[in-house]
């Protein structure tokens, strides 16, 4: 006869304190709007969701690299889904089902074939964006899957491209170096 399984260890003290203070903490903290994209926004949202459930992420739609770039090349009107997906996953609830959905959305297919390198969430969002025709509704639907603590909105309703016109000034005619024997600038 085997002994019953041991109970799971208690959560870390920090989590116990956060959980105990959650109702008061969440209601007192002001609403927060976070702007940006990529890993920086996702990290900020993951931290902020510990303080408030009154979060809105306004996410850039100019990503043209990796999976998002490949999807944009194939479907030019598609909002790049990568940064939107990362924001949704950062806001995911702490329960097992929500974390499992968030993990699935972040999963990337291996290999170099047609789906190699694509995140499941990018493909899901691409399909929802295309079939629903409304990015806010598509993001709200995926937010419901992960139990998002807040909302994710696109910065624009259509994909953006960031451009810069960089002008180089003429190089200086004199160098800022000074000669040890003279107290004036030396020509370079």
Q: Is 39 helix (H, G, I), strand (E, B) or coil?
A: helix
Task: Report the interhelical angle of 135-146 vs 82-90 (nearest 10°).
Answer: 40
**82 - beta bridge partners?**
none
Non-local CB neighbours of 98 within 8 Å, separated by 6+ positions: 92, 145, 146, 147
Q: What's the predicted TM-score (pTM) here?
A: 0.74
Sign of torsion over alpha carbons 171, 176, 179, 184: positive
Q: Check if the beta carbon of residue 128 is closer than 8 Å to that of residue 140.
A: no
Q: Using CA atoms, how far apart are residues 154 and 132, in angstroms rounded to an integer?
A: 15
* pLDDT tens profile 85-128: 999 999 999 999 999 999 999 999 999 989 899 999 999 999 99
pLDDT digits (tens, 9 = 90+) for 123-150: 999 999 999 999 999 999 999 999 999 9
């Amino acid at each position: 006869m085997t002994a019953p399984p041991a109970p799971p260890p208690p959560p870390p003290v920090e989590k116990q304190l956060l959980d105990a203070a959650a109702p008061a903490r969440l209601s007192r903290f002001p609403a927060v709007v976070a702007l940006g994209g990529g890993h920086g926004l996702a990290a900020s949202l993951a931290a902020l969701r510990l303080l408030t459930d009154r979060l809105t992420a306004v996410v850039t739609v100019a990503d043209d690299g990796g999976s998002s770039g490949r999807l944009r090349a194939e479907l030019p009107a598609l909002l790049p889904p990568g940064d939107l997906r990362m924001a949704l996953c950062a806001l995911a609830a702490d329960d097992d089902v929500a974390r499992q959905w968030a993990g699935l959305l972040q999963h990337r297919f291996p290999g170099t074939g047609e789906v190699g390198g694509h995140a499941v969430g990018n493909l899901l969002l691409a399909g929802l964006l295309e079939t629903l025709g409304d990015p806010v509704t598509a993001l709200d639907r995926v937010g419901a899957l992960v139990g998002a603590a807040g909302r994710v909105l696109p910065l624009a309703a259509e994909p953006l491209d960031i451009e810069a016109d960089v002008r180089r000034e003429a190089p200086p005619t004199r160098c800022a170096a000074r000669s040890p024997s003279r107290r004036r600038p030396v020509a370079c």
